[in-house]
Amino acid sequence: MLSSNEWRAEALECGAVPLIEKALRRIRAQDRHFNAISVLLDDEALEAAAELDSSTDPGPLHGVPVLIKEEVDVRGVPTTYGTNANPTPAATDDEIVRRLRNAGAIILGKTTMPAFGAFPFTESEARGITRNPHNPGFTPGGSSGGSAVAVAAGWVPFAVGGDGGGSIRIPSAHCGLYGLKPARCTLPGEDLWCRLGTAGPIARSARDCTLLFDALSDSVATESEGASLRIGVSLQPSTPLTPPHRDHVRAVRAMAERLRGMGHEVRDYRLRHKDPTAAFVTQFFAGIRKEIAELEYPDRIERRHKVTRAAGVWAQGPVLRWAEGFSDRLGEQLDRVFDDIDVLLTPTVASRPARAGVLSGKGMLAAQIASLPSVAYTALWNVSGHPAMSIPAGRGSDGLPVGVQLVARDERLLLDLASASSSAP
């Protein structure tokens, strides 16, 4: 499992082509066990590698392979949103894909997701069930489950996910990875779920998460001052009736002690805010209805999302404008939290990973109910627009990874703290 810096060094020394050939072979040999890849771009990836090998101006991600979540446009590949309803290839790259190419990264293909990213389980009628590489009997979470599996399996050092309610952080927690949801409007071209969502990095290390974020945001990291931080600890979920599993409580307490040992001020914190549920549900329905309306063959969508389309007819006009305005006001309210503390520490999810196939036979309402424990700590920050990050925190009693969530005003603080905590004793 090479880091991005090791990939880059080997590509510069030995050439990118043999490394990409090896990566493609490994994915083809192993993905039948996990179902994480929706399309591999063998010819395009090898052609890009050959061009890099003749280049005299290597970029920061020279020769490093990356995979892209299905909902992001990659030229020459249909953007299916996890359905069978969009067969025509995209004419151009999304801006974040263009930035990755400019940095020297090689796009290997696209990753599986549930239809429209609607659920925290990567399962769909179009693509089947995606499985956790730590134990294929369990889900990797979702909706960026394919991206998380590809990273956890060691095929790539990082991948691009998307997060409208926890869809980067949930699979990162279930797969033992670092996953960052950037703040609203940090990355270009985003209107995922009517301002709830954004693309972001999933990586095996905090350093690689930072490098991918730098490429996606077209920015360069600045040196951290290493100051002592005020860290608030909260076990309070924003979704009712979803108490955290004891493994997650232990993980949060252990991380709190680690941060305290690093010299930070750590204390329990009571989070107070308006209920985000109505605004989230409105933007969720409106966002999925918008994506369905833009499909070439909307009649081909899953039965449960035909229900979503019909059931969400109210989520438009004044109701949607109210929800988006509520999101702005909630963001302002929660921003004041970070006058009292610098970083909030919570569980990433309330429950342990579900068995693979959890969505089988479920309609829209049953799937939504099954999703509630997964988004109990994550969806709030999509409504408010704040950056949030899941970082690995050991394993649970079931042997699967556990993650904890960090929330702050800006991404750099989260990335720096994640990096420092990963190397702390």
By annotation, the residues acting in catalysis are: 69, 143, 167
Q: What is the C-alpha to C-alpha distance for residues 127 and 359, in angstroms, rounded to an integer?
A: 13
Q: What is the C-alpha to C-alpha distance for residues 327 and 329, in angstroms, rounded to an integer?
A: 5
> 85 CB contacts (<8 Å, ≥6 apart)?
295, 296, 297, 298, 299, 300, 301
Q: What is the C-alpha to C-alpha distance for residues 116 and 114, in angstroms, rounded to an integer?
A: 6
> 65 CB contacts (<8 Å, ≥6 apart)?
7, 19, 20, 23, 45, 105, 106, 108, 155, 156, 157
> 184 CB contacts (<8 Å, ≥6 apart)?
190, 195, 198, 331, 385
Measured CA distances, 269 to 65, 106, 138, 233, 235 (Å): 41, 43, 33, 5, 9
Please spell the DSSP secondary structure of 256-289, one letter per residue.
HHHHHHTT-EEEE--------HHHHHHHHHHHHH
Backbone angles phi, psi at 215, to 5 degrees: -70, -45
202: its two tokens: 């999933």
Helix, strand or coil for residue 161?
strand
196: its two tokens: 């709830």
- 335 with 386: CB under 8 angstroms? yes
| Residue 120: DSSP 8-state | S
| Residue 353: DSSP 8-state | P
Cβ neighbours, 10 Å, residue 223: 6
CB-based burial, 60-71: b 16+ in 10 Å, e otherwise: bbbbbbbbbbbb
Strand partners, 89: 78
Cβ neighbours, 10 Å, residue 10: 16
Q: What is the C-alpha to C-alpha distance for residues 417 and 411, in angstroms, rounded to an integer?
A: 10
Dihedral over Cα of 336, 281, 147, 204: its sign? positive
